[in-house]
Structure 1
Amino acid sequence: MSTPMRHGPSQQGRTPSQHPTTAPTPQASTPFSTTQAAAALSPHGPRSSPQQLKKSPATGTLSSGVMSSQPGNPPLNFDSPSAAAALGGLGLDINLDSLNVGGLVGGANRSDEDDRQKRMDATIAALLAFDTGRVSNDGLERLAVRNGFECLWETAGTGSGNDKVLIIAGRTLALEVGIKNHVVYHASLTFNEPSPSLDKHVEKASAIILKDLALGPGESLLTKKLSKFRVNLERLATLDKMSITPGLNCHEAIAGVWESLERLHRWDVERLREDPTLSSKSEENLRVFALFSRHGCPLMHTRGRIGLTLEYWKQHRMRPSATVGDDKAKTWGVLIDCAPASSMVYTPVRVSDKWIGPNIVKTNPMDDEGMPATGPLLDWLEPPNTLLPPTEETKSEGGLESAALSAPRPLDVVFMATFDPPVIVTHGVAMEIYKISAFNAPLSSSTFDNLLFPVTEGVNYDPSEPRVMEFTQTVPVWTDIRKAKEMPSLKAHKNTLIVDKPVYGHVVTHVPISHPKDLIAMLPLLRQYAFLSLLLTNSFKPQEGRPLLPQPSTSNEGTLNMRRTDRDLQDFMSQQRDASEPLKVDIVLSAHPIPRLQLVFPFRRSTAVINLEIQLNGKVHIVSDNIFSDIESEVPRSQGKRQPLTRRVFAQKLEDCENIDFWVEFIKFTLE
């Protein structure tokens, strides 16, 4: 259960132009001014900015670009970065959720320090990137040695000089690759120490490696690259290097986490099977349902990737054909790996498969305050710490100092959760996620909407003003529900996104975790913003299989440049025989304190206005509207039947179709 987000009394406040000032902004004198010359010599430039300041729970709130002190004191203007740095040096609290982003005036035109650093780092990384080359004898050996493995060539059983076996050996694993005339025909992964939790997954891992290296349809020796194999080999190498024998096998630690999460997933499926409304669902459908509505679905070695993934959201998840682990639909997941602890305050990796009790839930559930729980509580366990035994060298040495060194020592390795894809959230939600994992992450200087839909470079964009973005696309429409199997006609929608209250956002990429329960606590928030991004993407980005249309220009955002072909336009116009005007759908986005969407579109002879909330776990709640009948009323259907359609039913339809444009057409078809 996530902690409620803290937010200030004002979401946006006034822009700087709305605050009359009687005196110019005072220039703050800060100790950082003496280091500006030295900072200018850095390739990344100076690092201090108002957006990089941390929050402190003991300090106040900043709103509308002006920070208020005690009553009677004059307000302190926060327009200059130097003043911001000075305030940050005093440890003053800055509630970025309620902070007006008017200080980012001219955001697209200025050369932001973070953006410059990212571009420079990307350029350097591209210049220094290692070319994996093509699959060949030399290419395989060169890549393995680069990742710290030892290589040994052996002649295959046929005795042919061209038929060889490359043995790639590490501390904990060995990989055998059979190759003949530079064509791989066999791959097998084995671990040095027998482990039931690892051995059950080696066949799937070997199959992925073979697919990475063997020639596929339409591939040849000249086109087969080592790129996919490189990613998986690097993952294996990272875990192998951090493993210490005896004492720590990182592969086994991750497999132990899978064991516990898999037991939890199976328990979820059994509980869903007991639900009468899901009695007609297949086993695979129940697994998908548990993936997005319960505690996720853990998968080892899936989607061409070596390792453990906890999948928690899926596009087209309500379709009967949806399955776990397929590549046909976009899926959101968390990769669970190991990483060096570095300077983080952390809980070390523990090697165990007993992270949760055998009954999954507590028999006598009590909440954190010792009161009886209202529902089942998961019986999370705390496995004992995994300690490294003393080495032979420290045992042989004498003295008190060597005795201390010879004691079992903790590990310098943590579990690391990497979000795939990264999740774009507001600043407050990012702090909630980092609080769960006790992770100290850098703050972002970008707005939430700019992270979702980056402003085109060169476009004049003022973050303190409302943002307007337009996109015209086609929507398949059926005029008769009885002809749903026939080809639909295409209808144009002119969608307009309006962001009138910009807030800071953050891209969550990875967090360290000490226990699988940390991830489970994050899932409701992750699903909330994964579904929000899916809704907005489906309305404001091109969709596969649909022709692109001429895009309208906007006042302050510029045109969303989408390439189209004459054939696309001809195909669309041929289906629009009535030559009707595009349906105008306005979508007002408010991201704080909870994501809200206001939909405005023509309905009957008036205008429909629907206010939605995207709640935890991606649930849709209709806050208010002016078109739906009373929740107990019955609405006639096209087939002459009468079926009660409540607001909850309409909200569920949006959850199922995952598309605002489809939902608008469903409302018009049902109620008009």
Structure 2
Amino acid sequence: MSTPMRHGPSQQGRTPSQHPTTAPTPQASTPFSTTQAAAALSPHGPRSSPQQLKKSPATGTLAPGIMSSQPGNPPLNFDSPSAAAALGGLGLDINLDSLNVGGLVGGANRSDEDDRKKRMDAVIAGLWAFDTGRVSNDGLERLAVQLGFECLWETVVIGSENDKVLVIAGRTMAVEVSIKNHVVYHASLTFNEPSPSLDKHVEKASAILFKDLALGPGESQLTKKLSKFRANLDRLAILDRLSITPGLNCHEAVAGIWESLEKLHRWDVERLREDPALSDRSEENLRVLALCSRHGCPLMHTRGRVGLTLEYWKQYRKYKSTTVEGEKGKTWGILIDCAPANSMVYTPVRVSDKWIGPSIVKTDPIDDEVMSATGPILDWLEPPNTLLPPTEETKSEGGLESTTTTLSVPKPLDFVFMATFDPPIVVTHGVAMEIYKISAFNAPLSGSTFDNLLFPVTEGANYDPSEPRVMSFTQTVPVWTDVHKLSEKPVLKAHRNTLLVDKPVYGQVVTHVPISHPKDLIAMLPLLRQYAFLSLLLANSFKPRDGRPLLPEPNTSSEGTSSIRTTDRDFEDFMSKNRGEISPEHIKVDIVLSAHPIPRLQLVFPFRQTTAMINLEIQLDGKVHIVSDNIFSELEIEVPQSKGKGKLLTRRQFAQKLEDCENIDMWVEFIKLKLE
């Protein structure tokens, strides 16, 4: 099957074939063609359109703005003062500012019409983005053309006359969609030039694109939207538009980064396998551990998204049932794409799969002392710059006989690698500066506070960023009275959590940064994990959870309710079938948040006959450190025989339990169970 290829970039713009002089006649089976839809939405039609030749009911002449061919009977024109006076005299409520009446509205001129046209075009573009349409022959073609692709319909030789293949072609790639009666039954992604780094991932990408278009359970032709397919096709389109043939394939540049990061990830897993304490862990468990504690895990075409993602944090990471690409729990990652450099000064995109040495770490004996103090020194490499090939330039001076042809020098690319955080990470102002310093990015800073970015203030509520902030939330926590009888039905205790932000600090939502090398991302990971884990702890204590029982706030209605997610899927299934009774007593847990210079949490809750107070630090890589307390009086706490077989627990082990359960309320109940 032939696949149309796009031509290389031209200084003359699109070819005449891409700008037809006459609009194509819509097919009979196409009630909503592209031409008709554009005409219906366009606010600026041809000036000689039939709709403009209507008679005015007030004057019996041509409508305002239409030039009459009869002399002596001048038309009423919006640009004349007499027109405005006549309209005003008729009592018509017309906003002259919105109509841009020439000569009456101060400073109005032809440029106002152009501005209005641009604004309306932006509105129409926004409508297209809001409603991508449904999966159909015409819907797919409209979407592809809108994203800058060329389309070609081919009829299937074997099959009914309704079987067709839509080829969506770009400069470097093509997507083939097989469709019958507006139902997609196959989709595949292909690249124009063979590339081992791309070909190994093409099946996963094709499967995602097909899933976006195929009818799923409970879906029909009337409900199947193009939204997911549009998002993935748009990612492919961005890389395709930035690619230059020959010279640069942005898809290959991104795949080359995956090659090096995957090599580093495999090396991390091998080092973890050498740890005797992890001998019972499966390969998948080790990959999750490397994802969250080492150098992340690069994934191509995962979680329904086409492209490269470097995942660095995952909820429930300590549980054996958690897998790298599993859907259980929330995941934090970094999308890696290409983007125009514009006015930014950065190292441009380089196409290479050798960003790190074959040995991963440096083996120079001079570095041995440094390696023992700070960990392994990675052997990062600097690939050569990718340059565009020289092009011929023809100059003519005074006539054809003086025409000369010269070759331009190779020039660097005007594109950079762009890292997009998914989800965007909320950090303090100082940490944002550290992240931007790593990538040399000058980003505008927000004027909001860190706590307001984590927990936005309700609209209309009184909020002073310079004053302490207090917010409360009530949720349920499963509790057992005996650690040896976990099979029994637990009691659901209600925790009344109160968050106090004593000293608000400025915060920032980091959405994206340009990078010049994968090592820039690796340098950010400890900071990103620190604030990802902090946000997870606070969300588990102060945000509702889907599918959990609700509890009313004390002396209020049912606002601010939730339930804690349990520690493992087996226990969740058990809880759904054997829900314990909810204790009427509310346990008060006060949490004081201090975000500068390092995130700290002070926990205050009832313990024995007094009040427990624990000060925690959330350190780099999401590590928990107990700074001070009034219940762990010794370095080692002997747990009573009846509650834990006389096992000795250290402060570090208690801190480890909070890292494991990722939940302050469950950790409080664990402490009370062990020590009370």
Tell me the TM-score normalized by structure 2.
0.76
| Kept in 2: contact 1:184–1:214 (CA 8 A) | yes
State the one-letter code of the partner of 1:260.
S
User: How far did 1:576 drift?
Assistant: 4.2
2:638 pairs with 634, 638, 647, which one?
Answer: 634
Q: Given the superposition, is the C-alpha separation of residues 127 and 192 from structure 1 closer, same or farther in structure 2, using an over 3 Å criterion?
A: closer
User: How far did 1:371 drift?
Assistant: 10
Which residue is 2:609 aligned to? 605
1-structure distance, mates of 2:490, 2:197: 50
Q: Given the superposition, is the C-alpha separation of residues 372 and 646 from structure 1 closer, same or farther in structure 2, using an over 3 Å criterion?
A: closer
Which residue is 2:428 aligned to? 426
Which residue is 2:362 aligned to? 362
Residue 460 (str. 1) matches residue 462 (str. 2) = yes
Which residue is 1:659 aligned to? 663
Which residue is 1:98 aligned to? none
1-structure distance, mates of 2:123, 2:422: 23
2-structure distance, mates of 1:666, 1:401: 83
2-structure distance, mates of 1:445, 1:380: 37
| Kept in 2: contact 1:425–1:448 (CA 8 A) | yes
Q: How many residues align?
A: 539
Which residue is 2:652 aligned to? 648
SS at 2:285's partner residue?
helix
SS at 2:219's partner residue?
coil
Q: Given the superposition, is the C-alpha separation of residues 369 and 385 from structure 1 closer, same or farther in structure 2, using an over 3 Å criterion?
A: farther
Q: Given the superposition, is the C-alpha separation of residues 436 and 402 from structure 1 closer, same or farther in structure 2, using an over 3 Å criterion?
A: farther
1-structure distance, mates of 2:436, 2:459: 31
State the one-letter code of the partner of 2:248.
L
2-structure distance, mates of 1:187, 1:230: 14
Which residue is 1:202 aligned to? 202
| Kept in 2: contact 1:177–1:187 (CA 8 A) | yes
- Structure of greater relative contact order (alpha carbons < 8 Å, 6+ residues apart): 1
Which residue is 2:142 aligned to? 142
| Kept in 2: contact 1:395–1:406 (CA 8 A) | no
Q: Given the superposition, is the C-alpha separation of residues 553 and 411 from structure 1 closer, same or farther in structure 2, using an over 3 Å criterion?
A: farther
SS at 1:483's partner residue?
coil
User: How far did 1:156 drift?
Assistant: 1.4
Cα-to-partner distance string for 1:305-364 (whole Å, 9 max, x where unaligned): 000000000001111100011122100000000000011111100000000000000001
Cα-to-partner distance string for 1:80-137 (whole Å, 9 max, x where unaligned): xxxxxxxxxxxxxxxxxxxxxxxxxxxxxxxxxxxxxxxxxx9998556352111000
Which residue is 1:476 aligned to? 478
| Kept in 2: contact 1:365–1:373 (CA 8 A) | no
2-structure distance, mates of 1:149, 1:300: 23
2-structure distance, mates of 1:655, 1:637: 25
Q: Which stretch of structure 1 is more off in the superposition, 655-664 or 366-375?
A: 366-375
2-structure distance, mates of 1:419, 1:297: 14
Which residue is 1:517 aligned to? 519
2-structure distance, mates of 1:438, 1:577: 53
Which residue is 1:13 aligned to? none
Which residue is 1:278 aligned to? 278
User: How far did 1:249 drift?
Assistant: 0.2
| Kept in 2: contact 1:470–1:553 (CA 8 A) | no
Which residue is 2:452 aligned to? 450
Which residue is 1:568 aligned to? none
SS at 2:448's partner residue?
coil
2-structure distance, mates of 1:382, 1:481: 55
1-structure distance, mates of 2:319, 2:179: 42
User: How far did 1:157 drift?
Assistant: 3.3
Which residue is 1:328 aligned to? 328
Q: Which runs of 5+ in 1 are unaligned?
A: 1-121, 566-570
2-structure distance, mates of 1:167, 1:415: 29
User: How far did 1:596 drift?
Assistant: 0.1
Q: Given the superposition, is the C-alpha separation of residues 331 and 400 from structure 1 closer, same or farther in structure 2, using an over 3 Å criterion?
A: farther
Residue 595 (str. 1) matches residue 570 (str. 2) = no
Which residue is 1:166 aligned to? 166
User: How far did 1:374 drift?
Assistant: 5.0
User: How far did 1:482 drift?
Assistant: 2.4
Q: Which stretch of structure 1 is more off in the superposition, 431-440 or 357-366?
A: 357-366
Which residue is 2:382 aligned to? 382
Which residue is 1:251 aligned to? 251
Equivalent pairs: percent with the same residue? Answer: 80
Which residue is 2:351 aligned to? 351
State the one-letter code of the partner of 2:172.
T
Q: Given the superposition, is the C-alpha separation of residues 649 and 518 from structure 1 closer, same or farther in structure 2, using an over 3 Å criterion?
A: same
User: How far did 1:477 drift?
Assistant: 1.2
1-structure distance, mates of 2:440, 2:623: 27
SS at 1:482's partner residue?
coil
SS at 1:285's partner residue?
helix
1-structure distance, mates of 2:194, 2:491: 60
State the one-letter code of the partner of 1:471.
F
Residue 506 (str. 1) matches residue 508 (str. 2) = yes
| Kept in 2: contact 1:471–1:560 (CA 8 A) | no
Which residue is 1:235 aligned to? 235
State the one-letter code of the partner of 1:450.
N
1-structure distance, mates of 2:259, 2:189: 20
2-structure distance, mates of 1:200, 1:396: 48
1-structure distance, mates of 2:582, 2:267: 53
Residue 550 (str. 1) matches residue 552 (str. 2) = yes
Tell me the TM-score normalized by structure 1.
0.76
| Kept in 1: contact 2:394–2:404 (CA 8 A) | no
Q: Given the superposition, is the C-alpha separation of residues 367 and 126 from structure 1 closer, same or farther in structure 2, using an over 3 Å criterion?
A: farther
User: How far did 1:488 drift?
Assistant: 2.3
| Kept in 2: contact 1:426–1:448 (CA 8 A) | yes
Which residue is 1:536 aligned to? 538
State the one-letter code of the partner of 1:384.
P
Q: Given the superposition, is the C-alpha separation of residues 199 and 575 from structure 1 closer, same or farther in structure 2, using an over 3 Å criterion?
A: closer
Cα-to-partner distance string for 1:394-428 (whole Å, 9 max, x where unaligned): 6999999985x700000010000000000000000
1-structure distance, mates of 2:626, 2:373: 29
Cα-to-partner distance string for 1:414-446 (whole Å, 9 max, x where unaligned): 000000000000000000000000000001100
| Mapping for residues 571-582 of structure 1, pairs under 5 Å | 575-576=580-581, 579=584, 581-582=585-586
2-structure distance, mates of 1:560, 1:420: 32
SS at 1:442's partner residue?
coil
SS at 1:512's partner residue?
strand
Q: Given the superposition, is the C-alpha separation of residues 396 and 477 from structure 1 closer, same or farther in structure 2, using an over 3 Å criterion?
A: farther
User: How far did 1:564 drift?
Assistant: 9.0
Q: Which runs of 5+ in 2 are unaligned?
A: 1-121, 564-575
SS at 2:639's partner residue?
strand
Which residue is 1:187 aligned to? 187
Q: Given the superposition, is the C-alpha separation of residues 385 and 453 from structure 1 closer, same or farther in structure 2, using an over 3 Å criterion?
A: same
1-structure distance, mates of 2:177, 2:128: 28
Which residue is 1:151 aligned to? 151
Which residue is 1:493 aligned to? 495
Which residue is 1:65 aligned to? none
| Kept in 2: contact 1:584–1:602 (CA 8 A) | yes
Higher Rg: 2
| Mapping for residues 38-117 of structure 1, pairs under 5 Å | none
Superposed CA RMSD in Å reads 2.8
Q: Given the superposition, is the C-alpha separation of residues 373 and 614 from structure 1 closer, same or farther in structure 2, using an over 3 Å criterion?
A: closer
SS at 2:387's partner residue?
coil
1-structure distance, mates of 2:330, 2:210: 24
User: How far did 1:159 drift?
Assistant: 4.0
| Kept in 2: contact 1:417–1:510 (CA 8 A) | yes
Which residue is 2:571 aligned to? none
Q: Given the superposition, is the C-alpha separation of residues 602 and 455 from structure 1 closer, same or farther in structure 2, using an over 3 Å criterion?
A: same
| Kept in 1: contact 2:526–2:620 (CA 8 A) | yes
State the one-letter code of the partner of 1:387.
L
| Mapping for residues 396-411 of structure 1, pairs under 5 Å | 406-411=408-413
SS at 2:430's partner residue?
helix
| Kept in 2: contact 1:197–1:255 (CA 8 A) | yes
| Kept in 2: contact 1:268–1:290 (CA 8 A) | yes
SS at 1:129's partner residue?
helix
